[in-house]
């Protein structure tokens, strides 16, 4: 029953929106960094998905960030699914092609660009 409930909760997140780096959306990079903040409204998941190789200036330029459904990010990168119901305050970095770990100072982010 717990597995079913967790999966159902995760599926509800797929329809909510997230901030996504254009590197993930347009350039084909897999998600290397994901963080969850307080949702701004009922349609917002609170999630931000980045490739993990963006410079601060890149992220600070709103033209490099798009708003899209979590489900669309999941279609590009299924490895995020088991984490999308994590609580507010979650910060995860990708450490291999299919796994994430809590973000810690100095932890190297695994990055990879998909063939498009």
Q: pLDDT of 54-85, one tens digit each?
A: 999 999 999 999 999 999 999 999 999 989 98
Going by C-beta distance under 8 Å and a sequence separation of 6 or more, which residues neighbour residue 42? none
Domain tally, the chain: 1
Interval 48-58: pLDDT, tens: 999 999 999 99
User: Which residues constitute the domain of residue 46?
Assistant: 2-96
Note if the pTM is more than 0.85: yes
Q: Is residue 47 part of a domain?
A: yes
Q: Would you say how long the chain is, in residues?
A: 116
H helix or E strand, kind and range, residue 25: helix 22-25
Whether 107 is in a domain gets the answer no
Residue 25: CB partners within 8 Å, gap ≥ 6?
A: 66, 68, 76
Average pLDDT, the chain: 92
108 belongs to a structural domain: no
């Amino acid at each position: 029953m717990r597995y079913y409930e967790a999966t159902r909760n995760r599926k509800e997140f797929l329809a909510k929106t997230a901030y996504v780096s254009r590197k993930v959306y347009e350039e084909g990079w897999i998600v290397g960094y994901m963080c969850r903040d307080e949702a701004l409204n009922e349609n917002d998941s609170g999630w931000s998905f980045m490739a993990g190789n963006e410079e601060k200036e890149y992220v600070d330029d709103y033209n490099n960030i798009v708003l899209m459904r979590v489900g669309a990010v999941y279609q590009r990168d299924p490895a995020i699914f088991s984490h999308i119901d994590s609580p507010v305050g979650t910060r995860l970095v990708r450490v291999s092609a299919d796994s994430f770990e809590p973000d810690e100072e100095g932890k190297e982010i695994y990055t990879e660009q998909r063939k498009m």
